Chains A and B, each alone.
Chain A
Amino acid sequence: MFLQLLANGLVAGSVIAIAAVGVSLVYEILRIVNFAHGDYLTFGAFVGVAANVRYGERMLVATIVAIVATALLALVLEFALWRPMRRRGAGFMSLFITSIGLALLLRHVLFLVAGAEPRSYAVDPFKVYVVGSVRLGGSQGAAIVVGAVAIVLVGLLLARTALGRKMRALADDRALASIAGVNVDRVVVYTWLLAGALAGLAGVLQGLVQASFTPNTGFQLLLPIFAAVVLGGIGSAYGALVGGLLLGVAMELSTWEELAGGVNPVYKPVVAFVLLIGVLLVRPQGLLGKERLL
């Protein structure tokens, strides 16, 4: 049972982690707390379902279509919304409120276009992999594998490539990075493309593991995503990854019966936030966040 819950936790955690690293990157590099990120996820899930169900594409193809479409959505919004606002000197609060408005807009456009009824991908819900004592549905298994691959790739991109170095530099000191010759606007574009692509992927995975989803799905996931970012340490992309996985696992394990009977699954999000508060009391900077020093 423990292993089964651990596996379930990794499934939930992978989705949260993939989304959270995008939120974290956007916050670090653009100083935008993107309240609309959950709705980027939903957008990806719906593009995926359109490709998969309406046009009958295989799930792999549908996922790629969703990733590309969501990355493009993020890109279009950078040029249409975020960049013009930056140029006009919009402050942190204006950007935050704008993102809330954008979240509402995206969600309700999806309601208008796609309707409120739950959607599902055309996958076999009865396909089950058995690994030892753990039983995982095909979607769950895919979520763990794809999640792990995506996490490793993002980690390598940040740590090993020149682009990753530039992203970290911009997060640190934008003016200094620019006099070192870093093209700020270009790195920002890549950041949105990456965050959008990851959101599209997370959206499809969430739609798969939840079996069905509505235009509210991404928004409902937003609080755990933000919690993962804060838990891992604001301003640390690696922290967001760790925070996401940890939250997913903690939420699932909390329902374990041998753990003082386990909590009612309804209260799983409460467990996430108790964990968050507990960690922040001990480490206010989050798990991997740096203590502020001047």
Chain B
Amino acid sequence: MTLLEVRGLTRSFGGVRAVDEASFDVAAGSITALIGPNGAGKSTLFNIVSGFLRAERGTVRFAGRAMQRRTPHRIARAGLVRTFQTPRALTKLSVLENVLLAAPHHPGERLGRVFATPRAVRSHEAAAEREARRLLELVRLDRHADEYAGTLSGGERKLLDFARVLMTEPRLILLDEPMAGVNPTLGGQLLEHILELREERGVAFLLIEHDLDLVMRASDTVVVMNEGRILTVGTPDEVRRDERVVDAYLGAQG
């Protein structure tokens, strides 16, 4: 079943087509890798899909609904959640609050109801907090729950990112170079989480990744981009044998 459907996305910057008529699908519960040389348009594509950039043309459909005119928070609430390449944390919030922020449907958000039904708000908050603490345990950050997120290391922020994303109850997670600047132990832990989530909750992943070894091992489908266009889509084996892919990488380096 198709979860994400990208059709004919186009976006230019000053005459350069960063993304050029890009079309591909991401199946529900799949791990799809988006690869390509630097400047291929992968990050621009991510920014469009997650609502941070407007496409000039083309459509993004997620779970059957059009996403291309929505703001980032509505896309996130629809179950399509991204991460940033460099791990970011809300440094002035505690680690626990970072995760709580992403809790779906806060009754406390509406000012009037803060005062009107404090008990309902409190019980909702309590349930959200239990879930947040469980997720922090999952990524082994529970010891740091009450510290400011600003005190976390880069690696720990990646894990916090993960917990925050999971709190939104996503169906598809866009990961922008999850393994970049990550030591092998943490990398292994992240990969473990990805595979587990897919297994247990049927969460799908679309990830930009430069570690081709990992891409070939972990993904079901590989989407190759080059100069804004989708070069090919296939299984890791098909892509590995595709000479155009080799050319794109070598050409970009030469």
Contacts and interface: CB of A to CB of B under 8 A. Distances in A.
A71 to B, nearest CB: 11
A181 B50 CA distance: 12
B76 A178 contact: yes
Given A178-B72, A181-B76, A168 B168 contact: no
Interface string B201-220: 00000000000000000000
A290 B92 contact: yes
Contact of B168 (A172, A176, A180, A293): A180
Contacts of A181: 73, 76-77, 101-102, 104, 168
Interface residues of A, number: 27
A5 interface: no
Contacts of B106: 162
A173 interface: yes
Q: How large is the interface on B (under 10, 10 to 19, 20 to 34, 35 or more residues)?
A: 35 or more
A264 interface: no
B80 to A, nearest CB: 10
Interface string A179-198: 11111111000100100000
Nearest to A162: B108
A110 interface: no
A23 to B, nearest CB: 18
A173 B90 CA distance: 6
A234 to B, nearest CB: 13
Contact of B93 (A165, A290, A293): A165
Q: Is the interface of A mostly helix, strand, loop or mixed?
A: helix
A180 B102 contact: yes
B100 A175 contact: no
A248 B150 CA distance: 33
A6 interface: no
A166 B101 contact: yes
Given A193-B111, A290-B92, A165 B104 contact: no
Nearest to B149: A172
A62 B103 CA distance: 39
A31 to B, nearest CB: 16
B82 interface: yes
Interface string B112-156: 001000000100010000000000000000000000001000000
Contacts of A165: 93, 97, 100-101
B109 A172 contact: no
Contact of B109 (A168, A179, A185, A186): A186
Contacts of A185: 71
A180 B164 contact: yes
A182 B108 CA distance: 12
Contacts of A173: 88, 90
A183 B51 CA distance: 13
A233 B200 CA distance: 46
Given A161-B114, A163-B108, A179 B82 contact: yes
A166 B93 CA distance: 10
B189 interface: no
B2 interface: no
Contacts of B102: 180-181
A211 interface: no
A157 B74 CA distance: 25
A179 B90 contact: no
A133 B89 CA distance: 51
B214 to A, nearest CB: 24
Contact of B111 (A177, A180, A182, A190): A190
Interface in B53-110: 71-74, 76-77, 81-84, 88-93, 97, 100-104, 106, 108-109
A181 B72 CA distance: 8
A193 B110 CA distance: 13
A292 to B, nearest CB: 10
Interface of A: 157, 161-163, 165-166, 168-169, 171-173, 175-186, 190, 193, 290, 293
Interface of B: 50, 52, 71-74, 76-77, 81-84, 88-93, 97, 100-104, 106, 108-109, 111, 114, 121, 125, 150, 164, 167-168
Nearest 8 pairs of A and B residues by beta carbon? A162-B108, A180-B102, A178-B72, A162-B106, A172-B90, A181-B76, A178-B73, A176-B88
27 contacts: A161-B108, A161-B114, A162-B106, A162-B121, A163-B108, A163-B111, A166-B101, A168-B97, A172-B90, A173-B88, A175-B72, A175-B84, A175-B88, A176-B90, A177-B101, A178-B72, A180-B164, A180-B167, A181-B76, A182-B73, A182-B101, A183-B109, A184-B73, A185-B71, A190-B111, A193-B111, A293-B150
